[in-house]
């Protein structure tokens, strides 16, 4: 599977603006008991939808402009922040595709932890803060929880 990693994707100022906003008390997280599939009902995480069905859904979407300047999307499908709580053991969520049609995907990692993203070919992308992973999210991949921090946080972009 082809993918690209951009470490230190954003300037320190732009990265801290996103990280500090997401970790602030003004940023809302919503419980979801479905991570990858309806069959995976034992795990959970929290999400914040910035953009969905081609429409902004959050007052915070503008903080993502520095990432969008890198991605240069023709059209956004969805942007969603994910917070995977530390559940005390390594958990690999089910393999899944983000959408059932060909599109581009990107994951922006907010914190460094021992969780990772696993791609269909077995590649494991470490969660390192300010890292941007570009990949085909219409291909199977999976998320994991971490065990060394309180949570694993990233932002998922789906776009054309």
Please give the pLDDT value at position 42: 72
- pTM (predicted TM-score): 0.95
The pair of three-digit structure tokens given for residue 146, joined into one six-digit string: 């971490």
Please give the pLDDT value at position 54: 84
Kindly provide the residue ranges of all beta strands, DSSP E only, lying in 86-130, ordered along the sequence. Answer: 104-109, 113-119, 124-127
Residue 77 inside a domain? The answer is yes
Please give the pLDDT value at position 43: 86
> What are residue 84's DSSP bridge partners?
152
Residue 35 inside a domain? The answer is no
Give the residue carrying structure tokens 């995907």.
105
Specify the CATH number for the domain of residue 133.
2.60.120.620
Note whether 108 and 47 are within 8 A (CB). Answer: no
Residue 38 inside a domain? The answer is no
Q: β-strands 55-56, 131-135: how paired?
A: unpaired
> Could you give the number of structural domains in the chain?
1
Residues of the chain with pLDDT below 50 are: none
Please give the pLDDT value at position 111: 98
DSSP output for 14-63: HHHHHHHHHTSTTS--EEES-SS-TT--S--EEEEEEEETTEE--TTGGG
Please give the pLDDT value at position 153: 98
Range of the domain at 120: 3-23+47-159
């Amino acid at each position: 599977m082809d993918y690209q990693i951009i470490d230190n994707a954003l300037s320190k100022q732009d990265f801290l603006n996103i990280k500090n906003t997401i970790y602030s008390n003004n940023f809302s997280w919503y419980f979801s008991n479905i991570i990858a599939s309806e069959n995976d009902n034992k795990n959970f995480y929290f999400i914040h939808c910035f953009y969905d069905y081609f429409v902004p859904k959050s007052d915070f979407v503008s903080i993502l402009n520095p990432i969008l300047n890198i991605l240069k999307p023709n059209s956004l499908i969805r942007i969603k922040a994910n917070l995977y709580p530390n559940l005390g053991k390594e958990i690999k969520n089910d393999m899944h595709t983000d959408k059932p049609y060909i599109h581009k995907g990107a994951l922006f990692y907010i914190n460094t932890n021992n969780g990772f993203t696993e791609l269909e070919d077995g590649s494991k992308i470490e969660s390192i803060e300010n890292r941007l992973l570009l990949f085909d999210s219409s291909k199977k991949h999976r998320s994991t929880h971490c065990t060394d921090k309180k949570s694993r946080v990233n932002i998922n972009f789906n776009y054309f």
